[in-house]
Amino acid sequence: MHNITLIYGDGIGKEVVLSAKKVVDNFNLDINWEVVDIDYKKLEKNNNPIPLNVIESIKKNKVALKGPTTTKVGTGLKSINVAIRQELDLFANVRPVRSFKGLKNKYSDIDMIIVRENTEGLYLGLENMITKNIAQSLRIISKDKTRAIADFSARLLKNKARKKITIAHKANILKLSDGLFLNESKDVLFGHTNIEIEDKIIDALCMDLVLNPCNYDIILAPNLYGDILSDLASGLVLGLGLAPGANIGLEYAVFEAVHGSAPDIAGKNIANPTALILSAAMMLEHIGYKKEKELIEKALEDIFLEGKYLTFDLGGDLGTKEFTNSLINRINKLK
């Protein structure tokens, strides 16, 4: 029996989480969901973004499927998402980006994985006002965390039969911090055999990703660059509705979509659940159900190629629930 922590989050969270759960439940696997709620009021009252009940549940179950949680811009509590990643040392953020044939993509052969360091960099949130008019943020890049994420990306390359790793950096300006990230990453990657290694300065990489996205295989990036790159890359394949993700550590794994809580479309049954369904597929592979993961992907490929059953963000008119049902029908036909 696999016990899995299920977190709805907020905004479109519950809608897309219930879709993904329905797709997983359709396989009748040996899975028991433990639903845990985030008590936002309590966290805000205590000015502490760590949801202890969620952490406790994930520590017990080891694996979680999570909807997005809103983080206020400029004010309010620090990010709950970031707090969970740091608290559980989920140091690797894995974000596959691929184009589906049939959709109105500018590029039809994008197939890359962005691997982002997930626990340090600017996301430590170490900020203060030096004077009334000057704010300071501390960006930490450590040798240990860098070597861990570089090693993770090399192993991922081998597991997924990939060939090339591109290291994203700005070591021409941030000579110490990004210099360390670049040098330590290279040192680790050189220790593995048969990896094509290249490095690209982050601004040039952004331009080249837009012009030549099919040239990229695995991109290894420090925290903030990885976050920005993955939204950019999701735009190349028609948006956040299709971008899945996983936060992986040595002991625990939390699967969640790249997108946020999208409050503008919440509660309207119009969110595209594909990103979270693909995140759930990654989770199924993680716990040993590779065949089921492949079935979900194949059914999505077929649906998108056919182009009849699409959500609003992809130019269709199906709601979240209706799209989920048509996907399940397709999976059942493939079984």
Q: Which CB sits closer to ligand ATP, 13 or 249?
A: 13
**Which window, 90-98, 109-117, 257-265, 322-330, contacts ligand ATP (CB under 6 A)?**
257-265
- By CB under 6 A, the residues from 294 to 313 that bind ligand ATP are 313
* Structure token digits, residue 90: 């989920």
Q: Which amino acid, 68?
A: P
The nearest distance, CB 139 to ligand ATP, in angstroms, is 19
Question: Contact at 8 Å (CB) between 32 and 286?
Answer: no
Q: Is residue 265 part of the contact set for ligand ATP (CB under 6 A)?
A: yes
- Asked if residues 181 and 222 have their Cβ atoms less than 8 Å apart, the reply is yes
Q: Does residue 66 interact with ligand ATP by CB under 6 A?
A: no
Rounded CA separation 131/109 (Å): 50
The region of 39-47, 155-163, 258-266, 286-294 touching ligand ATP under the rule CB under 6 A is 258-266
User: What single-letter DSSP state applies at residue 77?
Assistant: S
- Match 């740091």 to its residue by tokens: 86
**Bridge partner residues of 248 (DSSP):** 92, 253
What is the rounded CA–CA span in Å between residue 167 and residue 197? 8
Residue from 18, 240, 282, 295 binding ligand ATP (CB under 6 A): 240
Task: Count interface residues toward ligand ATP (CB under 6 A).
Answer: 16
Alpha helix segments (H runs only) across 13-142: 13-25, 40-45, 52-61, 80-87
Does 209 contact ligand ATP by CB under 6 A?
no
* CA–CA separation, 206 and 183 (whole Å): 21
Question: Among the candidate windows 48-56, 206-214, 269-277, 283-291, which touches ligand ATP by CB under 6 A?
Answer: 269-277
Residue closer to ligand ATP (CB basis): 61 or 234: 234
Query: Which residues of the shown chain bind ligand ATP in the complex (CB under 6 A)?
Result: 12, 16, 68, 71, 240-241, 259-262, 264-265, 271-272, 275, 313
